[in-house]
Structures are given as structure tokens and as C-alpha cells.
Structure 1
């Protein structure tokens, strides 16, 4: 079975980890050498240059989580991090004092930057970096091109990088719009369209619908490939009982006029039969009442437990998503 996941952020990382655990336990020879292939197409709109290094937050979050190196308490960065280099950078007045990079994390960024400076595309750089660990999944950046998300914060068109709006201001500045710079000229990274076209199942992780999944879909060619794919497309709601599971996706949804509800996000994605994204949608049991309305919009729906409290509950959610896709 070939499984392709559109993903980004902590929600995507935890969902993919659960999916890997389920695949390894439930599919034949899932631990090694099996026909089960797991590919994640990852948002790169959060990426940026800072203090001379290229940072790829979503790729790194997923890599660290699958490698067992992610700091689960903070939700980002490496286990056992120190921050001596960031302290030195602050003393020199370099970089963003509110955006702290751990020393181990900086090692990843330096390795990525060195390989990029050698002329390698991000997809090949990612392949080399992730080969350090047995991740049980292939991570593909949505594009090799630099497509960075900026946030327009006033009527005059003032904008800032998404990371500044998200990390420094904690999404407290009302967003007027999200702009992916140079997205029109971007191309899907090698392997992305193939992973979509050859998939047996396409899953949409419970990631931010606007700046994670929305950025992936904004790369020319990706949405069209999904529309033409023979595989079912099943999404997992990032909203439970009218609240975001993690982060500040509600601020992003409000900026584009979408309510913070499982039903509204399903409608935002739309039914594939009507030119949208989804064939099916998983909502939490707390949102079971939304199932009829979602199905009336042409998207099959079911209510299952969505909370990913630990690897086991994440694996159960992944199993539910795959089971629903194969019905």
C-alpha cells in the first residue's frame, strides 16, 4: 500500500508518527521491506533565512518526531537542547531575539545550508539529512523553490514573515491576508506528483488548513494532481468542538472568513466531486452532529476520536483514517 500524506507542523508530525506505528504493526512486514510505503508532502511556506542559515520548521518537526528526537514538552526542537549559540547571537545583536534556535537544531540548519550552498535542491538536501535516521517515511518538501508565507497585517499592506507574526506576536495582530511569495512560479519538488498519482490512499493531516495545507495546495500542479488521482482523499479535522487542537489556526481561519469548526473547514476544502479536495472527512466524536451537513456537501464523513494524546492514540486515529478510506 502506498500512502501519501499532505502535512505540516506538530499536528502533521504526530499524525504521521501514528500512521507509521499503525503501518508497522498492522500491515505485513511493516517494519522492514514491506510493500507499505509512507510519503509525506510537507509545507515549506514557514521556511526562511535567518542568521545566514536556511530554516525549515515543518520538515524538521516531522523529522525530529519520527526520529524520536523531538522535545515533546515544548512541541518543537530537539531533546536535551542547549541555547548557547542563540545567546551569543543575541549578544551580538544578530537575528531575532524572540526566535530561539537550539544548538542541536542549528546543526541541522547548518548542514542544510551547506548542502544548499553546494547547489543541491531542497528535496535532495532533505533526503540526505533524513537518511541519518530510520524514519519509516519519505519526507518530500512541497517545492524546491523558496515560497515563503507572509502575513498582511493592516489595510496599508504592511506585511511580515509568517514566523514573526506567529512566534513574536502570537497571532495577536489581526491578519488581513496570507501571501505566499513567488508561489506562481514554483514547481512541485521531484517525487511529489508521483507520490500523489501512484498513491493508494491520500490523507490530509490535521495541520493548519490555511498556512500548511493551503500552501502545499497553492504550488501549481499539486491541486490538479490530487483532483486527477485515482486514490481516495481523506482528511482529518484539525478542529475539535469548535477549538483548534494546537497552535493558532483559528486566527488564520478567521482571516480568510472561515469559522473555527470541523464542518466549516470541510466546506473550505470542498468535495472533490465538486472541484474541491476531499472525498471523506473525519471529525471528532464531539462533532458527530456535523456529519450529516458534511455529507450533504458531498463529502463522506464519520466521527471518531481525534485527540492524539500519545503515539497509541495517534496510531488508532491513523487506523481509522485508513479504514474509512478503504470502505
Structure 2
């Protein structure tokens, strides 16, 4: 196995599995993968299209959700933010008439403050995320999709909105008419990601059950990423965030409907056409499995607890191994159960 020297520290081996991940839904599967893959065998690439500046701080919601989840620090009720959080800062800010539409817990605030001053001191986001992961005791390698700014913009009936203003401030209320990823064309995909996708030792690429348009599309919008996925020697497997026409988490189904796309697992598979070799969908969508343009694996894809997350992770990797051994990267249809 090759050894690389990353920008965030000492030497590291090429990963065995690369997971592309958004927020809460993606972090659940990332956690399952981290429990069955040791250390740097797993690389988790987090979306940064949700990042924004707030109260003078650099906020990285999806990155932090992955960090907190894998460190067993996440709020178990929300999936985001930190467990046992307190809100003294927000209470004091409200008393002063400050902006309180985006909640920052006291423990969470420390992450944002530390990240912000280190960015201003010249460190890259990759270096900071890697250091946070080490200090949280996370063995898997976590990295942002890019060290360059990419910002998701939501085109709505109320105008073009910054993602967090739409998602948190307006609670996904306005109808979505389009999405764009500002800065993507000028950004450079994380070099460690591009090296991993080209590695002959790669076992699988997993697109976690995150919102395809909000969490995965920013990663795919980076120059060269789609091509690298299409040319990867390892199978690329996507897991559906839609079960029986409903989103497991978040506004995925709502946005799909507003964009004129049928809110179904089949539509998600079609969205990833050309870059995936296999698609994992829930038992409730069994009837569409045979009509997909790639091989399908049907299983219980709803993750309620850690055992579910580990089970789904094993199913996904076993599916990838079967596709690799069968040399079925030609896109032939079929159903695996």
C-alpha cells in the first residue's frame, strides 16, 4: 500500500474506503463505517458548501457534525451540536439584541472560535479538522472537500438565499427553484481525496445517505471530482436518503418536489448516473430495484441505533466487494438481496 505525506501532518496510508458525507444522515453511516474499519482505512470527506461566516466566526456545520458524531459527542436528540450543551452565550446575546437565529451552544462555540483564529493565523481547514479529530480521539481520517470557499446558494421565490439563511433562518420554508455552488469552479478539490480516488488499493467509495442536492452536489461540483469517481477502479456505491417516497432526514423530498423531480429512490439513483456502480435502497422500495440503471442492493436502510449503522456499513462494503469481484462496473442492471 502506498504511503502519502498529507498537508495536515505526518505520513498516512492510502485509505481503503472513501465516504462522501453531508450532515446528520451521512454522519450516521460514517459512524458505522468507522466501527468496522480501523483507523486510516477510512477517509470521510465532508461537505463544506454549508460553511458560512456568522458573528465573525467560521462555522462548518457538516464537518462538525461528522466530528462530533464519530467522537461520541453529538446531541443524541438532534444529531447535530454537542451533548449536554448549555446556552449562556445565546441568552446573553439575546439580551443585547444580537442575532440569535442560528444557535451556537457554549461547547460548540469553542470549536468555532478555535477554528476561526487558526484560519486567520494561516492554517488550512484540512489541518485544523485533522487536529480536531486527533484531539477528539477519532481514528478515521476526516477532511473537508476543499480548503477553498464553496458556498451553496438557494434560489427561491423570495430571492437567492445563503444556505444557512434558508435552512436554519427560514426553516426551509421558501420554495426552491434552483441551487448553485458559488466558488466551486475556482476551488481545488482536497488533494488527499483526489489521490485516494486514484489509488489502486481503494476498496470502495461510499456516497452516504445525505441530501444529494445540498450535501453531495457541492462535492461533485468541484473540478475533477466527477471524473475521478467515474474513473475510480473501486466500485462507487450510493445509499438512498429516500425511503418509500419520504426523506429519512431533512428537506430532501420537499426540495426534489419543488425542483420538479419525483421524490423517490429511483430519482436519487438517476441523479448519480454515470458516477455510481451500485445503489443501496430500503426494503420498502424493492419494487423499483430491478428498473435502476445500476445494480441494486435491497436491505433495511433506516438507521435507528449504532447496530443499524454498523449493519448497513457491512452491507454496503459487502455489496462493493461483490461488484468488484464480479467485475460488474459496466452498469448492468440487477437486484441483489
TM-score, structure 2 as length reference: 0.88
Match of residue 25 from structure 2: 11
Match of residue 40 from structure 1: 44
Q: Specify every segment of 5 or more residues in structure 2 that has no aligned partner in the other structure, as ranges.
A: 1-14, 323-337
Residue 257 of structure 1 and its aligned partner are, at CA, apart by 2.8
1:80-229 alignment runs, 5 A limit: 80-95=84-99, 97-154=100-157, 158-198=159-199, 199-229=202-232
Give distance in 1, aligned partners of 2:132 and 2:96: 29
> Between Structure 1 and Structure 2, how many residues are aligned?
306
Q: Does 1:277 align with 2:291?
A: no
Give distance in 2, aligned partners of 1:255 and 1:277: 25
Q: CA RMSD in A?
A: 1.4
Matched residue SS, 2:42:
strand
Give distance in 2, aligned partners of 1:70 and 1:317: 20
Give distance in 2, aligned partners of 1:151 and 1:309: 30
User: Is contact 1:51-1:94 (8 Å) kept?
Assistant: no
Give distance in 1, aligned partners of 2:90 and 2:56: 13
Give distance in 1, aligned partners of 2:313 and 2:78: 23
Q: Deviations over 1:62-102 (max 9, x none)?
A: 1000000000112211011011112222223333x221110
User: Is contact 1:54-1:112 (8 Å) kept?
Assistant: yes
Give distance in 2, aligned partners of 1:87 and 1:201: 46
Match of residue 53 from structure 2: 49
Q: Deviations over 1:205-232 (max 9, x none)?
A: 0000001111110011111111111110
Q: Does 1:308 align with 2:303?
A: yes
User: Is contact 1:153-1:159 (8 Å) kept?
Assistant: yes
Residue 252 of structure 1 and its aligned partner are, at CA, apart by 2.5
User: Is contact 1:11-1:207 (8 Å) kept?
Assistant: yes
Match of residue 289 from structure 1: 287
Residues 255-264 or 215-224, more deviating = 255-264
Give distance in 2, aligned partners of 1:205 and 1:190: 20
TM-score, structure 1 as length reference: 0.90
